[in-house]
Structure 1
């Protein structure tokens, strides 16, 4: 009788918090730790990694709570790793205050995570790590969609944002590196791409090109096998009318325009250091909206220091009139090291929350109007799989929408020839029959 001499694989539990840019870094870490078997059972995992978010107070709190809860339930000999933005931003304090954690690392060592785990060693490299085409990533959450990171850091100086303080200045990947990575992902079956960074419209500006995104679009269009692509996080002062035209004229890039505006009155844009006059902003926004089948998403901050009641009412009026397809509103959060934190015009938390709630209610209404317009329409969707709602409902999203943030369509019927099964990760044409709550119901027609 032969006994297997193979050791059982060690297991890894990964939690990626915050944005999709963090997710790309988490996928790089998974690639470096491919000897480990992924597990959802954190209590018995050999290694637990939390890729933290350090953006605003609520995100920081979530990061700390997550890692302490995982520590409470983990087995004795496991290795607990705190990585990412929060860890980078407060490295000295956290290492003193959290003896529970075995390995601390920030935003510079994702590609060395295997060494740090094996040696149980903390490390903070001075440079921000930027994924490239040589990093073997393990794409999570989808068999057909992947995020691709364009750059790290940011050259903007927004009054409320601490990201440049721990992510540094803009550092773009080369176009060659991106094209190589996308081609590699296409060869593995990926057909839908979301390009992300802190400030996507500044891509390649640090390397002397003002039209970096337009160059990217031209190069990505040449790659065979891509069905759809979109760009997330355009910045007002670096987005041009010609970039909007380039996206709209593309056969591959969908008319998805995601531009965080934060505010709309001239004085607030100046206080927030947003670098674009209201007239030019309106011109950009109207140009996006004028494109056929355009989808416009944005974010706003309520209660930034210096915001008057008039500013707030003007913003509410603007949101109501523009009718964004999707929008988010954040209550202002004071971040140390930012210009806004030094302001003498801080607003009471209660007023901030009231303003955020009011804007949120307007956004809920305009989102519902955007969804209501889809009823009776026929369009293409990606079918993701069974819905969490019910085994007989399939979960899909419109091909123009970004994953996870723009909504979910339930497919409850199909008109395919008898015996033909719907395949997950593929494009189907559907007809929308009704809107129930915030979910569209649809029938697959081909």
Structure 2
């Protein structure tokens, strides 16, 4: 059957959403993927419903696509936003042909052929049998290790629509990695809402450490990293296991959200300043460690004094990267009914933290000048003609930036291949490097 039908898919929000989008692509292989939404027979928007800004982006994306779509096309709204607000959206958005939430990604082909909206109560978790189509890379893939979250952070609505922690079996994860290695993938990012809790619902004491050891045994895995550790479920033993691994990068992505005890208590983080700093210092002590975190500006209970304390800590600690979120007041969260900080104060605080984040990143980049790193070439640089875009394996895909190769030393250039390179200079906020040799 010729590829006559066309599909346009937009995946919003996090990489966990991306995995679910890739599952839908796997179910719709008879469609030709198109970047031109005006020509698509089916348009799917896999939405994010985490905070106000994400909700707004999801709604605007859907409405813009509806405005431009061709006659008789099918517009599907899936994912977290449609799950979280299913009643309201179905009532208020007649533009949408099919609504579905976070439980039916593997049934997307059936929903489209029957033009039915459905919301299965169980949250979907991709496994090795999902048949997803990996996008965006010929060597890197995300592996979702769990869904849901057992934490009760006061600002977070995710457990209200994603439910409690539900981990995949270790054998399922290993099988998926083995299958992807056979397909030519060699670099993996392991993701979930709270990766350091992996396996606790299956009574594994150190589930993530078990996962690290199991993945190390898979021949063909050249590098890996774990995203989204949670302070109260991250142990010193886990930090050691990551640092000592020959396969996993010494990459610690642990959102701390704040550092002041009073604010951490109002956030229901279950972990105070002293223990958080002890974990961070231990991570930092590991050779060639890379530390990423995120913080929230303007959470209820954040006094000027506690905000200044956070700023001083973020300046002094010098994370390699950190993200700042404006506090967003979300229904179904315990912070929703707390006394709120004025929006203009939240915005001012977020802006100040953003400037500290820029300085922190620049400091991290400057420290790399003169060093030799292992990197992968992703392709030509979008911004600079004649330059190549590359990523050191220690950095996470898409979020930590790129290094530009301005001298290939006449080596054969192959996208997705690993090279040793020397970082020669920092121009503005952009690192330049020279290729030294191909790494097998």
Specify which of 173, 190, 193 is matched with residue 168 of structure 2: 173
Find the counterpart in structure 1 of residue 300 from structure 2: 305
1:390 positional shift: 2.6
Which segments of structure 1 move beyond 2 Å, counting only runs of 4 or more? 6-9
Instruction: Give the distance between the partners of 1:236 and 1:390, measured in 2 at CA.
Output: 39
Instruction: Give the distance between the partners of 1:309 and 1:278, measured in 2 at CA.
Output: 17
Question: Which SS does the other structure have where 2:101 is aligned?
Answer: coil
Instruction: Give the distance between the partners of 1:111 and 1:251, measured in 2 at CA.
Output: 35
Distance change in 2, residues 1:172/1:391 (3 Å): same
Instruction: Give the distance between the partners of 1:405 and 1:435, measured in 2 at CA.
Output: 19
Find the counterpart in structure 2 of residue 440 from structure 1: 431
For the aligned residue pairs, the C-alpha RMSD in angstroms reads 0.8
| Cα pair 1:202 1:210 within 8 Å, conserved | no
The reply to whether residue 390 of structure 1 matches residue 384 of structure 2 is yes
Specify which of 352, 363, 377 is matched with residue 357 of structure 2: 363
| Cα pair 2:3 2:31 within 8 Å, conserved | no
1:391 positional shift: 3.2
Instruction: Give the distance between the partners of 1:98 and 1:353, measured in 2 at CA.
Output: 31
Find the counterpart in structure 2 of residue 3 from structure 1: none
1:277 positional shift: 2.3
| Superposed CA offset, 1:71-94 (max 9, x none) | 000001111000000000000000
| Superposed CA offset, 1:18-54 (max 9, x none) | 0000000000000011111111011010100000000
Instruction: Give the distance between the partners of 1:352 and 1:260, measured in 2 at CA.
Output: 19
Instruction: Give the distance between the partners of 1:48 and 1:310, measured in 2 at CA.
Output: 48
The reply to whether residue 200 of structure 1 matches residue 195 of structure 2 is yes
The TM-score normalised by the length of structure 1 is 0.97
Find the counterpart in structure 2 of residue 276 from structure 1: 271
1:336 positional shift: 0.5
Instruction: Give the distance between the partners of 1:184 and 1:193, measured in 2 at CA.
Output: 12
| Cα pair 2:3 2:32 within 8 Å, conserved | no
Equivalent residue runs for 1:66-215 within 5 Å: 66-215=61-210
| Superposed CA offset, 1:305-331 (max 9, x none) | 011001000000100111000000011
Question: Which SS does the other structure have where 1:313 is aligned?
Answer: helix
1:116 positional shift: 0.2
Find the counterpart in structure 2 of residue 379 from structure 1: 373
1:435 positional shift: 1.1
Specify which of 246, 250, 253 is matched with residue 245 of structure 2: 250
1:7 positional shift: 4.5
Specify which of 253, 265, 270 is matched with residue 260 of structure 2: 265
Equivalences, count: 437
